[in-house]
């Protein structure tokens, strides 16, 4: 355990942890990961950690294959339909 933390630093950590709704230990983990991540910057693990910290990561597992099929079946199909409905002159006048 850290023993020689200046009182003003300890107070700031406690205040920030309360504001963030977390413990001092969890706050320190976030700060350490931000400034000295276990994973190299730009790695998938580092990007996932940043997304979790920013509240952007999904809490539910995502089935990427299923989501890709959904996009292909809806959005891409609509795109192809629009392309088929365009007149041939639309491609040359753009």
Which sequence spans correspond to the domains of the chain?
7-92
- Residue 46 exposed, middle or buried by CB count within 10 Å (0-12, 13-18, 19+): middle
First CA to last CA distance, the chain: 68
pLDDT at 91 over 70: no
pLDDT digits (tens, 9 = 90+) for 20-75: 898 988 888 888 877 776 767 778 877 877 787 777 777 677 788 888 888 888 88
Half-sphere exposure of 57 (CA within 13 A, CB side): 13
Please state the pTM of the whole predicted model.
Answer: 0.40
Tell me what the mean pLDDT of segment 75-91 comes to.
80
57 contacts 48 by C-beta, under 8 angstroms: yes
Instruction: Report the pLDDT value the prediction gives residue 15, as an integer from 0 to 100.
Output: 92
């Amino acid at each position: 355990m850290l023993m020689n933390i200046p009182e003003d630093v300890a107070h700031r950590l406690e205040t920030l942890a309360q504001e963030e709704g977390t413990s001092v230990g969890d706050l320190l983990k976030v700060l350490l990961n931000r400034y000295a991540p276990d994973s190299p910057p730009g790695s998938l693990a580092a990007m996932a950690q940043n997304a979790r910290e920013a509240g952007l990561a999904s809490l539910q597992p995502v089935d990427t294959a299923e989501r890709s099929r959904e996009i292909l079946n809806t959005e891409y199909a609509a795109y192809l339909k629009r392309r088929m409905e365009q007149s041939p002159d639309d491609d040359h006048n753009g």
